[in-house]
Amino acid sequence: MNARTSLILCLFIVLFAGLLFFPPSVTANELSSFSVQAAEEEIDDADSIHVNIDLHEDGSATWTIAYRYELDDDVDQDAFDNLSADIEENPNDYLNPFQDRINNTVALASEETNRDMSATQFAISTSVEDDVLRDIGVVEYTYQWNGFAAADNGEIRAGDAITGFILDDEMRMLVQWPEQYSLELINPDADEELENGIVWYGDETEFIAEENQPQVVLSEDSLLSTALLIPILIVILAIVGWILYRREELSEASSSTESTPVSTTESTEQDDEPDWSLLSNEEKVIQLLEQHDGRMKQQKIIEEFDWTDAKTSKVVGNLRDQGEIETVRVGRENVLTLPDTDVLSGGSSSDSSPE
């Protein structure tokens, strides 16, 4: 690049006099011959040119045109640094001529394709990229080409706006698209295929206007559209499941409420029956008397608890000494009563056996 180091600073003074496409006087019939370069010497001065076209669902495209210069030595580096500083300080001096040329190109493409088009969001920037052998100075232009591709019914058709684009040997064109689209048609064949894009290299491919090249046709991936519905279906099923669960829960709660009186009655009946294993012998006798209206034959107590006569007599004696019960003799039977119980009143003879 030493032979052209002195040209870098003056390059952009003349570069935009006819930058990127064709002069304003070009006719629509000359679309097939327009080129990224304005003059052969200016393109030769760039070691390579990268044209990136990022397609969008609505048919618009973000264009990035990067002029790349190999910085072989300090002289080249200083020259590019000066150029970068001037672009940063006076961007419009470089951007306005570029914008005028692009607007003319877009207007002619709109007439040729009968599609509304416009160019917006123009920008220019510079950078230095590290390379294995040397640094690369980059001057990059970007803009939005609205209406660049035809987009409808889940299909994107691009290329008719740049039919016959001249792809020189030092140029590379990258076309990318949204991940939910699949490539249906490409003309000519790509020199390199990416996951969501293709690349043409100028030293390998030439676009032929008579064959409507370049051409890219994309279709929306129906599988991805279906995949997008899966989360929605999951949410719907979750909501339906929650509603059914709540309905069942409320139904069970209602049934439980209706059965509460029965449960309470059963619980009360169970609570009335003492846990005999937790009672002392004296408490067992008192509890049994209370269940029999405070009056019971001593022999019946022996039978209920399966006690011996001696044990029963001892327990009864203790209770009598404590004033907890009274004993009376009725015929040949001892009758135990709770205090203030009428010994002659009818007591229940029903059995309630302890556990």
pLDDT for the residue numbered 255 = 61
Which pLDDT band holds residue 257 (cuts at 50, 70, 90)? low
**Angstrom distance (rounded) from CA 58 to CA 343:** 106
**Angstrom distance (rounded) from CA 51 to CA 167:** 10
Architecture of domain 277-355: Orthogonal Bundle (1.10)
For 57-116, write each residue's pLDDT tens digit: 999 999 999 999 999 999 999 988 998 999 999 999 889 999 999 999 999 999 999 999
Closest CA to 61 of 111, 125, 19, 106: 106
First to last CA, the chain: 111
Number of alpha helices (DSSP H) and beta strands (DSSP E) in the chain: 9, 14
Judged against a pLDDT cut of 70, whether residue 204 lies above it is answered with: yes
Burial class (CB in 10 A: 0-12, 13-18, 19+), 7: middle
What are the residue boundaries of the structural domains of the chain, listed by start? 2-220, 222-253, 277-355
For 211-244, write each residue's pLDDT tens digit: 999 999 999 986 545 556 677 878 888 888 778 7
**Angstrom distance (rounded) from CA 247 to CA 239:** 12
Q: 326: which strand partners?
A: 337
**Angstrom distance (rounded) from CA 145 to CA 110:** 11
**Between β-strands 48-55 and 171-176, what pairing exists: parallel, antiparallel or unpaired?**
parallel
Sign of CA dihedral 68, 73, 79, 84: positive
**Between β-strands 155-158 and 118-129, what pairing exists: parallel, antiparallel or unpaired?**
unpaired
Which pLDDT band holds residue 151 (cuts at 50, 70, 90)? very high
**Angstrom distance (rounded) from CA 126 to CA 43:** 17
Which pLDDT band holds residue 165 (cuts at 50, 70, 90)? very high
Residues in the chain: 355
Both tokens of residue 1? 């690049």
For 293-342, write each residue's pLDDT tens digit: 888 888 888 888 888 988 888 888 888 888 888 888 877 788 888 887 77
Whole-model pTM? 0.55
**Between β-strands 48-55 and 61-71, what pairing exists: parallel, antiparallel or unpaired?**
antiparallel
Longest CA span, the chain: 146
Closest CA to 51 of 198, 244, 156, 187: 198
**Angstrom distance (rounded) from CA 99 to CA 97:** 5
**Angstrom distance (rounded) from CA 177 to CA 189:** 17
**Angstrom distance (rounded) from CA 87 to CA 97:** 13
**Angstrom distance (rounded) from CA 115 to CA 119:** 13
**Angstrom distance (rounded) from CA 153 to CA 218:** 11
How many other CB atoms sit within 10 Å of the CB of residue 240? 10
pLDDT for the residue numbered 78 = 92
How many other CB atoms sit within 10 Å of the CB of residue 92? 10
**If phi over 0 gives left and psi between -120 and 50 gives alpha, with beta otherwise, what is residue 218?**
beta
Closest CA to 161 of 205, 114, 201, 198: 114
Which pLDDT band holds residue 2 (cuts at 50, 70, 90)? very low
Closest CA to 202 of 234, 251, 166: 166
